[in-house]
Amino acid sequence: MNFGIDKIRLWSKRGEIRDIDFKRGHINILTGGSSRGKTSLLHIIDYCMLSSEHKLPHDVINDNVAWYGLQFYINDKTLTIARQSPTAQQVSNLFYFSPIGKIPESPNANATSEDIKVILQSEFGLDSSVVLYGGRGLKDGTQMSFRYFMLMNTISENTITNSDVYFDNQQKDRYRVALPQVLDLSLGIDSLENISARERRNDLQRQIDKLEKKKSLSTGKGLFESEARKIAATAAEYGLIEKIPKTVDIAFLKEIVASSPSPEASGQDAKRYADAKAKMFQINRKMRKLREFSDEHKQYKATLKNTLDSLKPMETLIGQSDQLLQTEIFDELINGLHADLKALKKATATNLPVDTQVANMLRELEKEKKENQELIDALPKKTKSFETIIEHAKFIGRIEAKLESYHEVVSDDPESFNGKISELQSAIQDIGVIDVVETRQNINRQIDDLAQSLLTEADFVMDNYATWHPAFSFKHNVLQLRKPHSSLVENVGSSSNHMFMHLILFLALHEAAAVNESRFVPNFLFIDQPSRPYYGEEKVKDESHLKSSDAARVSQAFVLLDNFVSRMKSKHHTDFQMIILEHVPTEVFAGLKNVHILPEFREDNALIPATWKSRNTTQ
């Protein structure tokens, strides 16, 4: 995809203008000292390209800038997007847009982000049918955004020397989940048509799975009955019912729902109804607990009665004790047995004080329940819930949902499921979906071959790894090095090696996209200070260009980039633009034919002119 930046414009809060101009089809290099605003150029591009958040520093930059503008070319068009400066961490929703690339003297809002997004989505060849597979932080079926493809266009300061992360924004779930599909489309592994066919097939399979579940439910009513008993148990805990019947069927669940109206009254009526309803739940719980106690007590007495029956021969023995041979402990034994038997008879009596007490408590609760029900019946009732019975309303909703799902199951003829499932399976067979596994393997080898050629160009800077073989991992989205004639993958050391590995991978990916005629990858790359491992943040004093020096290694990196731009023009007939931020001396780029050096950001020259800052501080 033909893409690049022509101009970045800043409008000050006093109406002044600051332009940074770039050259198409060239490596645009902006050098300068630290804290001059160079890195903010990447943040400005991202912000103008509809970012939902921003990294623009407030001190100096946002404090002075009213609007940020971006003039860029895409395919055969030149467009301009300007966006009002953010407030604190809140991005602005005010946009200026020109479909012919016009940059105004003073921008005014004339478009929404959605308007601009539709245009950019179209330029990237994306529509609502292009969706992403779900994952953490990304809902299944989310529309593919053009912004995801710009993962291929930046190597920021946070990643350029990172051995484990090669792509920006991987700390954000949605970008990390989207990256595999972005690579598939960008490299020609997959196509929009194939993704659409796969989505139709997956949708049909989801319908089949739903029917299979209904079919299983329709032939397995035991599952419903088991769940219904669990609902009844919870209803008893809530006090909606006094006890769980032996058979819990649909009619019983419907009765729970029917007997649990919710009120819609105002003032004292609403409060009285809610209080009465809550009290009814308490009464039902108390009655259930008492009945449980009564049942357990009856079982206890039955157990004691069995024990008493087993000791009846001992009662006969006690009655004939005067005829038995007695020892010195005979009286003590007989007296003890007699006392135990007497206690058992008392404990198993038909009516005990505790039985009477429980019966009285139940009668009182029945009376209280009746009075409370009469109060509830006398109050106005409509459909609404109150805070005092929110849990009650939620539970009733669960019962109704279960009844609805069971109704759907039993209302269909189980035999009809087989016919519907067969029709859907036949429709799946008619959808041609290409398996991209083999294609991905072939593209993987292509990337490795391209990376090998680039590694050969950068032979001396990679020390002992010049003869090793690059191996791109689609699983981990990183470039690795494999020892010749071995399966050993090396953990490459030194930040300078990591920097070159990043450059090699991105150049290989872009060339693979060009070879496979991808329409999704912008021919553009923004790199933040590739010399970072050698020179840090400031300009060096020693400008020696010996082959073993750091300067020579940095020069080789730019030779690699320069050769790539030339190759894209001559071999693939396409322009490729780069914007590179640097600190190194401009002599490092001497002799490179595709390099365009911007005015250095030094002394008074910075992203925010000194005059803007001085005026701002004097206001």
pLDDT one-digit tens code per residue, 528-538: 988 888 765 44
**Token pair of 441 as six digits:** 């393997």
* Mean pLDDT, residues 579-596 taken together: 90
Residue 66 pLDDT grade (very low, low, confident, very high; cuts 50, 70, 90): very high
Q: What is the pLDDT of residue 380?
A: 57
- CA pseudo-torsion sign 240, 245, 248, 249: negative
Strands 27-31, 577-582: pairing kind: parallel
The pLDDT value given to residue 85: 96
Q: Apex CA 452: angle with CA 446 and CA 456, to 5°? A: 155
Does the structure show a pLDDT above 80 at 167? yes
pLDDT of 2: 94
Amino acid occupying residue 195 = I
Does residue 214 belong to any structural domain of this protein? no
Query: Could you tell me if residue 183 is inside a domain?
Result: no
By mean pLDDT, which of 170-179, 378-387, 527-536, 608-617 is the weakest? 378-387
Give me the phi and psi of 379, to 5 degrees please.
-90, 150
Query: Who has greater pLDDT, 356 or 407?
Result: 356
Show the tokens assigned to 579.
Answer: 């914007």
Which of 37-51, 117-131, 166-180 is predicted least confidently?
117-131
- Sign, CA torsion 114/116/122/125: negative
Q: What is the mean pLDDT of the chain?
A: 81
- Checking if the pLDDT of 382 tops 50, the result is no
Stronger pLDDT, 108 or 227, i.e. the higher one: 108
276 within domain boundaries: yes
For the chain, give the percent of residues with pLDDT over 70.
Answer: 77
Q: What is the pLDDT of residue 387?
A: 46
The one-letter amino acid at 356: T
Residue 31 in contact with residue 583, Cβ under 8 Å?
yes
The predicted-structure confidence for 339-370, as pLDDT tens digits, reads as follows 766 776 666 665 566 677 777 787 888 888 88
Q: For residue 38, count CB atoms less than 10 angstroms from its CB and return exposed for 0-12, middle for 13-18, buried for 19 or more.
A: buried
Is position 326 within any domain? yes
CB atoms near residue 436 (< 10 Å): 17
> Residue 536 has what pLDDT?
58
| CA dihedral for 606, 607, 612, 618, sign (positive or negative) | negative
pLDDT band, residue 297 (cuts 50/70/90): confident
What was the pLDDT predicted at 49?
97
d(CA 607, CA 601): 7
- pLDDT tens by residue, 486-513: 888 877 777 888 899 999 999 999 999 9
Q: 3-state SS string over 442-496?
A: HHHHHHHHHHHHHHHHCCHHHHHHCCCEEEEECCCCEEEEECCCCCCEECCCCHH
Domain contains 237: yes
Residue 596 vs residue 306, higher pLDDT:
596
3-state secondary structure of 597: strand
**Rounded CA separation 39/43 (Å):** 7
415-422 average pLDDT score? 79
Is a pLDDT exceeding 60 seen at residue 262? no
Asked if residue 386 has pLDDT above 60, the reply is: no
Residue 602 neighbours by CB under 8 Å, 6+ apart: 32, 33, 36
In a domain, 371, yes or no: yes
d(C-alpha 205, C-alpha 203), whole Å:
5
Residue numbers of the domain that contains 404: 221-408
Highest mean pLDDT among 32-46, 216-230, 326-340, 358-372: 32-46
What is the C-alpha separation between 31 and 560, in angstroms, rounded? 19
Q: Of the ranges 300-314, 481-495, 565-579, which one carries the lowest mean pLDDT score?
A: 300-314
| b/e per residue 530-548 (b: at least 16 CB within 10 A) | bbbbbbeeebbeeeeeeee
Kindly indicate the confidence band of residue 540, based on its pLDDT and cuts at 50, 70 and 90: very low
Number of structural domains the chain divides into? 1
**Mean pLDDT on 46-66:** 93
Q: What is the pLDDT of residues 14-28, one digit of tens each?
A: 989 999 999 999 999
Tokens of 526: 């923004």
Asked if the structure places residue 398 within a domain, the reply is yes
Tell me what pLDDT residue 183 has. 94
Residue 258 covered by a domain:
yes
Q: Which residue type does 464 have?
A: N
pLDDT at residue number 348: 63
For residue 3, give every residue at least 6 positions away whose Cβ sits within 8 Å of its Cβ, in sequence order, or none: 72, 73, 74, 75, 522, 523, 524, 577
Q: What is the DSSP annotation of 537-593?
A: TS--S-----TTSHHHHHHHHHHHHHHHHHHHHHTT----EEEEEE-S-GGGGTT-T
Residue 587 has pLDDT above 70, yes or no: yes
Is pLDDT at 449 greater than 70 in this prediction?
Answer: yes
